[in-house]
Amino acid sequence: MPKYFCSGAVLLLLLSFSVGCSTVTLKPADFAWPVEVVLKPDTNGFVKESRFQVSFNIKPLLFEEFKDSVNIADRSIRLIRDLRGYYFITGKAFKHVYVFGQADASLKLEKKILVSEKGLEAPALNQKNQLIELIDEKNSSVAPVYLSKEGIQEGGKK
């Protein structure tokens, strides 16, 4: 009898545990922004996007890219969010495109993609077929590069 009682108790425990851990997933979800935004930081390094209400500090990013987070007045970044919800950031003279995921009141770097050895002249990010298209507007001879959170998907060096 105690044997059955024990097994029943364990089963009940497991059942209640599994109910407590079950998650509800809403999908598909589309986080894509139709068009990139060009943002200039304020004196403290904060950028603010008004339509989608996102703001963050880009000083660490600029330091990562240029090893300089002091001279930020002339800097601007180009920001777009892909379908999966990742933020893609680059800018003039950047050699990389940074992919960030949303974290607890922060953006967490997921991938740093090298896209140009010399630095981009006039980069622009477009939403294209579930990927992010990177073009250089001053360099029309260079083929566009298609990016995802995992890195370069088409064009450029993978």
Partner 1 sequence: MNKRKDSFPKLLFLVSFLFVSVTNAQVRSDRAIVDQFEKKVKDITHLIDGAQTAQECVEISSMIDELEKENMEQKELLDKALYPDDFKTTLVNLRGRLTIRQKDIGVIESQFQRIMELELQVRELAGVIDSLSQQNDQLLKAAKALTASVAISSAAVDSLNKVIARLRQNLQERDKLIFALLDSVFLQYDKDVATMSDVEKQRLYGKLERRNVLTNIKKSIIDNIQFLETTNLTPADYVEMSRQQSEFKKQWEAFGPKLAKIYIADKKRKSETTVVDSLLLTWGQKVQEGTWKSLATLFSDNGFPLTSFASGDEFTIVLTNYINEEIKNTKQEPENIRSKRYSDFEEKIWNPSLKSWLPALVESGKLTEEQKVGIEKKIAEWRSSVTPTSWVVYVIVALVLVILVITLVRFAASRKKEPTNE
Assign 3-state DSSP to the chain and report helix, strand, coil percentages, each to 5: 20, 35, 45
Q: Using CB under 8 A, which of 55, 137, 150, 157 touches partner 1?
A: 137
> According to CB under 8 A, which residues from 96 to 125 bind partner 1?
124-125
Q: Using CB under 8 A, which of 57, 76, 126, 153 touches partner 1?
A: 126
Report how far Cα 88 is from the mean position of its chain's Cα atoms.
5
Least distance (Å) between residue 146 CB and partner 1? 14
CB neighbour class for 134 (10 Å; exposed up to 12, middle 13-18, buried from 19): buried
Q: Which stretch binds partner 1 (CB under 8 A): 8-16, 83-91, 100-108, 136-144?
A: 136-144
Tell me which H or E stretch contains 100: strand 96-103
> According to CB under 8 A, which residues from 37 to 56 bind partner 1?
37-38, 51
